[in-house]
Amino acid sequence: MAIRKQIKDIGKNTAVYGLGNLLSKFAAFLLIPLYTRYLSISDVGIFALLEMLERLLVTVAPLGVLRAIWRYIPATKKADQSQLVLSGFFGTVLINLGLLGVLALNYRGIGPFLGLTAEDQGLLFLVLLNIFLTLGSQFLKSLWQYDNKAINFVILSLAQFIGILALSIVLVGHYHLGLWGLVLAKTIVLGVLSLICTGILIRKYWSLPSLATFKILMAYGAPLILLALVAPILSMASRAFLRYFVTLEEIGIYHIGYKFGMLINMFLIVPLQRGWMPMMYRMGIAENTKRIFSDVLFYYSIIGSCFFLGLSAFIEPVIKFIARPEYLAGAYLVPVVAFAYFISGYRMFFMAGAALRDKTPRIATAAAIAVGSNLILNYFLIKYFGITGAAWSTLISYLLLCTAVYLLSRDLTDIDWKFPRVIKVILVTLFAYYSIIMLKEFYPDNAIIIAGLGIIVYVMSLFILRIIGDKEIKSLQSLIRQVRKI
């Protein structure tokens, strides 16, 4: 049985995005020696706060318009698609120019809240400028995603990271500009890329923008902003409550454990989302595409559960290799955080009904439920259970988010998600996980062997229990034959 084209495209694009994500994170990792050698600890702290602000505002800056363009392109005539794109682009640029401009004019009043001295408050102005300069590349990469040009997307992303890395080394290492050098490196690289990307957009999609078209895009996209903010808000909220209830040492242990747990998000969920979401909008919900929706969700369940199990089973030796021994105290947090992000990945499928039936306010409602419940859970769970409570608060919040997205979208479409087979995958995964944990406690000297054998037995059990059926086996055989030909 040949693999359907849509499934092959999703797999290929997810692999490309995953590799690009890995390379970009490696480029960012190479900046760590630069931080520690040329910056003071306080400067590194300030830079972390500036990056947190930048990530938050970069998420908001597109105003949900990118997803709205994906939504309306399939139903828009070829001659009118250029107007759709440039209406969204120029409208977003003008709104950001106004909002970021207001913040920039008041940067001296905002700076003290981030711990910036009078001499360093100008950095905030540059950070706001950097956010504005990302709009051109964000729009171009989004259109490449929709057009199935994953390689173009990754090349541009890597060019940005490598450019910032190289220029940071020059400005900080050679010219000793310190914190200013790091921020200026971003400004210069983003400025060049902004000119290039904006030029490409205008040349390819030139048309007179329409205010009416932009209003339509905003009406669809604005509610999606809150969904995009869920992850950064949940991350920031837990750290805020931790700072109030636990010691800095415990926060450090939690931070490292959380970073390892997020690896499933970095290398599976984000790449899959980049490949799946544009395809979802292109396909729409029709009788011949509903099966693809449920099948991709099932494949995600299997791959995600394997990723979760592997990460959870081998986390102790990985922490020993990368970090100091005292961080092993947070190893037990990694499976909880990893499972939280694994569950969070289901929302990209369940939102199909609301997203494709133009009911995005329902998605905003689900996001609000997750954020509100997370604040309440963080307060009580962290107060009484410390960093363990923070991890479980994340898991419960993402579970509530996915449940709310599903419940608020299910009446808009009749997709059969085939939940029994998904539930079987999750139950077998959890059984395998707890079996590995128990065996490692009885035989600690053979922990790595037990982890490896446990994963092998888990994969075999999926076939033995017929969770992976004939269709999946034949598709896998077809894929192997194609690889052999290559």
Residues of the chain with pLDDT under 70: 1-5, 25-29, 32, 35-36, 41, 45, 114-115, 472, 474-486
How many CB atoms neighbour CB 78 within 10 A?
7
Q: How far is it between the farthest Cα atoms of the chain? A: 70
Kindly give the interhelix angle for 224-245 and 248-261, rounded to the nearest 10 degrees: 150
Res 27: pLDDT = 66
Distance CA 435, CA 170 (A): 51
Say which residues have a Cβ less than 8 Å from residue 468's Cβ, sequence separation at least 6. 302, 462
Say which residues have a Cβ less than 8 Å from residue 234's Cβ, sequence separation at least 6. 370, 371, 374, 394, 397, 398
Query: What's the number of CA atoms in the CB half-sphere (13 Å) around residue 376?
Result: 9
Res 36: pLDDT = 67
Res 2: pLDDT = 46
Which is nearest to 185 in space by CA: 194, 172, 198? 172
Distance CA 401, CA 365 (A): 10
Domain residue spans of the chain: 31-221, 223-486
Res 397: pLDDT = 97
C-alpha distances (whole Å) from 14 to each of 97, 149, 269, 330, 422 are 33, 12, 9, 30, 21
C-alpha distances (whole Å) from 50 to each of 128, 220, 364 are 10, 30, 27
Q: What does 250-274 look like in DSSP terms, one character per residue? A: HHHHHHHHHHHHTHHIIIIIHHHHH
